[in-house]
Amino acid sequence: LGDAVDEAAARTGRELGAEAGPGDLASFTRVLTEQGFEPRVEGETVLLSNCPFDALAKAHTALVCGLNRAFVQGVADGLGCDVTACLEPEPGLCCVKARVSSG
């Protein structure tokens, strides 16, 4: 079930990313904003100030956090944006952080 959810989330993210325009960080954060994540860029990291599925994540953390990571990576992939989505839980933020590749 987890793999199917992650693949569906990644596919949806890729589709939204591919429709979003240029593959830059501004387009990446715009798509995430439109989906309710409240991204903010700090250096080479995009922090997500909100989890759109916070209530569900409290009961099904691994499933929802995996879905979020797959979706965020899918958006980056669809845009062709050089970003890697990672699970890095931190109080007050979504469990996903997106790191801009420096190479």
pLDDT of 5-51, one tens digit each?
999 999 999 999 999 988 899 999 999 999 999 999 999 999 999 99
Q: Which residue is it, tokens 């790191």?
A: 99
Q: Which pLDDT score is estimated for 2? A: 82
Given pLDDT bands bounded at 50, 70 and 90, which one contains residue 102? Answer: low
Q: Which pLDDT score is estimated for 101? A: 86
- 87, β-bridge pairs: 96
| Strand (E) or helix (H) holding 40 | strand 39-42
Task: Note if the pTM is more than 0.85.
Answer: yes
Q: Which pLDDT score is estimated for 48? A: 97
